Chain A
């Protein structure tokens, strides 16, 4: 295999503090050299002088709807959307039809991903059979087949005894238990945050305490069992405080939030545009600010997309009837870069850490999440000078349920390299 050189880009590797113009040499899928000038003896050269060169993004949380809903997404289309958004590795949630709750379905996902030859797709297995919250799945067999975590995402494990078992049992494999935290009885049929905007919208409200009470329960169970807990889509101020407390207590917990919770609030729902309908619901401005603080102080470890493709006929409905979730793989970086980095709210280094370095650590991927010699050549090149407008035809995803269509962004993925192979390259304008 011949080598590949990425020439002259601004290379960012948060753990080493590297942030400067470098050449990178890739051979056999690995980064073999990083230096000021690498001679290109027969190697293919990518001119990256105008680009950022960052470790490929790793999404802890997306929905690929495969098996079950090929009209909304497939492993292939989801992985294509991933590389289009600069993601080189994505974890797909098991709330498919049938769910990823046994070895066979895990194998199916892995095979489909292999065939697609785009991003690395790492399945998350269900915690309970059929995601019904009754009986543990064969976690060991699913680990053998390739899952990297377990989760009943979409639903909370309602029975605390069962979650306790999951937290204990998953320790055999040292994989995280990813919990969707929303108390079913408090959340009820809520579709908007319970506060002023919830009140004036007339929509069924879901209170923050529905999320926080389960986070508190789960943190205590993680302490009690010593298990590894990962909190999915953290959205509230008190949730951040609880996780911060847990970390001080040395509880083995990590937490993610999603781009939309960092840039949007529940006020948006007053338009009744169902693209703003997500679970947990968009929260208040106060919560949004607390999430930003939680990122700054390290309480929040990762930003995950919760990419949730939906068919238009499931979205173009009354708000309370519409499916919940928005797509996010392809807008994640542009959105964060435009709204948070360029505005000086968060540093580029921080964003890269939460999109790549930390997710790799959470998943125990020892050769991913960095641009360093010996690491996998999972690398994303980004252009950050031109302003562009998001149109529906931008998406490689089979679904278009994004509230950001029409928005202007700065920050565009131009090339995505997975295992040393270019898996996405922007078509040059003629």
Chain B
């Protein structure tokens, strides 16, 4: 059992809880290959998808996951909610509370917003990304995908490249992977590395070309172009030259390396299209596994 009511951060989970979610996801992964990929586990339960930030794949993935569990799904996204009219998250929470949903999946730009909601709701809350804080189901589906190729992540080297500073995906992966014994290395321009990141239990590689040959997994993060205008790197072209996973760099990788990306991809910026679509890429597996992992999380939080 997952100890808490909610899934807010991988920082809060134990190694055992992570394994439990993964194991349950494996069961659901088999369900997804059936002709009728649906189980009645959450029949009669209502899951609210509350997305205050644009998202395609995460929202679709949770939506499908909940429906595969036979839950009733209500979707509420920023453009159709009252947030634009100026309603506070507190009032949103109070309204949800009286409408009595069973679970809420929240995507929000403010770090801590999932915690905020969880503190005020009887329903369980799944954090689907809160600002630069965490995106725990992404971390879990990434771990799941790595575990499809490795029995254990003990001592496996996972190199995360890019804008670590603003990445909730990086934070969730770092917590999850280090708990499972992986060696996490981060690499990116110093302007995009957060303060004292080593204290999270990772190593900082200053040179990507030296770090690549040792990696069992290369996890490429999306580079936000607006970081350029805020003075954190000079140009997309220069970023590609210094940190992009180019065809040339891909040649120096281990043969069995896994290439991952949380999407959406800026093709030709952080990763070359030939590499993203190449044989070592598991980027689409990530998306596919996301449904099973989210089914597992919803199922376990709803009471297993």
Contact = CB atoms under 8 A, between A and B. Distances in A.
A316 to B, nearest CB: 5
Interface string A294-323: 000000000000000000010011111100
B168 A202 contact: yes
Contacts of B115: 271-272
B90 A200 contact: no
19 contacts: A194-B195, A195-B196, A198-B195, A199-B197, A200-B200, A201-B111, A201-B133, A202-B130, A202-B132, A203-B131, A203-B132, A205-B195, A272-B116, A316-B90, A318-B111, A318-B112, A319-B110, A319-B112, A320-B131
B112 A272 contact: yes
Interface of B: 11, 88-90, 108, 110-113, 115-116, 130-134, 168, 171, 194-197, 199-200
Interface residues of A, number: 21
Contacts of A195: 195-196
B151 to A, nearest CB: 29
Say what secondary structure dominates the interface of chain B. mixed
Given A200-B11, A272-B115, A318 B199 contact: no
Contacts of B130: 202
Nearest to A202: B133
B88 A199 contact: no
B197 A319 contact: no
B110 A318 contact: yes
The SS class assigned to the A binding surface is: loop
A312 to B, nearest CB: 9
A321 to B, nearest CB: 7
A161 B200 CA distance: 43
Nearest to A321: B110
Contacts, number: 64
A207 B165 CA distance: 14
A321 B196 CA distance: 25
Given A313-B88, A318-B89, A319-B110, A199 B195 contact: yes
Nearest to A201: B111
Given A199-B195, A201-B133, A202-B171, A318 B113 contact: yes
Contacts of B112: 201-203, 272, 318-319
A78 B43 CA distance: 56
Query: When A and B form their complex, which 4 residue pairs have the shortest distance between CB atoms, in order from nearest?
Result: A202-B133, A272-B112, A318-B110, A202-B111
A204 B112 CA distance: 12
A200 B171 contact: yes
Interface string A182-224: 0000000000001110111111110100000000000000000
Nearest to A271: B115
A204 B165 CA distance: 10
Nearest to B110: A318
Contacts of A204: 132
Contact of B88 (A194, A272, A317): A317
Contacts of B171: 200, 202
Given A202-B134, A203-B111, A316-B88, 19 more contacts: A194-B195, A195-B196, A196-B199, A198-B195, A199-B194, A199-B196, A200-B171, A202-B131, A202-B168, A203-B112, A205-B194, A272-B116, A313-B88, A317-B90, A318-B110, A318-B116, A319-B111, A320-B110, A320-B131
A111 B41 CA distance: 69
B195 A320 contact: no
Nearest to B196: A196
A418 B134 CA distance: 52
Interface string A314-337: 001111110000000000000000
